[in-house]
Amino acid sequence: MRRYLPLIALVLFLSACGGGTGTTVVGDGPGLTIQGRAFGQAPEIASGEGFLIENLDSVRHTFSSPEDLWVSVDVPGSSEVEFTVPADLAPGTYDFVCRIHSGMTGSLTVTG
């Protein structure tokens, strides 16, 4: 078992780094949780950085900009996906919605 520890450590490190996509994922866990057909609090995040969206519901949702400022993200039920803030998105507060469930809304604060 001891001889596999370096390999296990490497796998865990690469998993934590987002699989080498070049995106910096902020935080230890989900940055935004969906539960009970509602969005939780979104993180404050810089342009070009990413965060995880965790859907605890059994149904599919989307993470979408009403103004189409980013490509809508499909979040299947009981899953987790990564979202990367577009690098050219200026600092500010932006609304987001689920395009499937009209009552689901929230806001994302983008820092410099």
Count of the separate structural domains present in the chain = 1
pTM greater than 0.85 (yes/no): no
d(CA 81, CA 23): 13
- The reply to whether 95 falls in a domain is yes
- The reply to whether 45 falls in a domain is yes
Q: What is the percent of the chain where pLDDT is above 90?
A: 72
The CATH number for 49's domain is 2.60.40.420
For residue 36, the enclosing domain spans: 22-111
- The reply to whether 9 falls in a domain is no
Instruction: Give yes or no for residue 24 having a pLDDT over 90.
Output: no
- 47-98 pLDDT tens trace: 999 999 999 999 999 999 999 999 999 999 999 999 999 999 999 999 999 9
Cβ atoms of 51 and 63 closer than 8 Å: no
Instruction: Give yes or no for residue 27 having a pLDDT over 90.
Output: no
Identify the pLDDT of residue 3: 55
Distances (CA, A) of 19 to 2, 15, 25, 29: 24, 5, 11, 15
Confidence of residue 14 (pLDDT cuts 50, 70, 90): very low
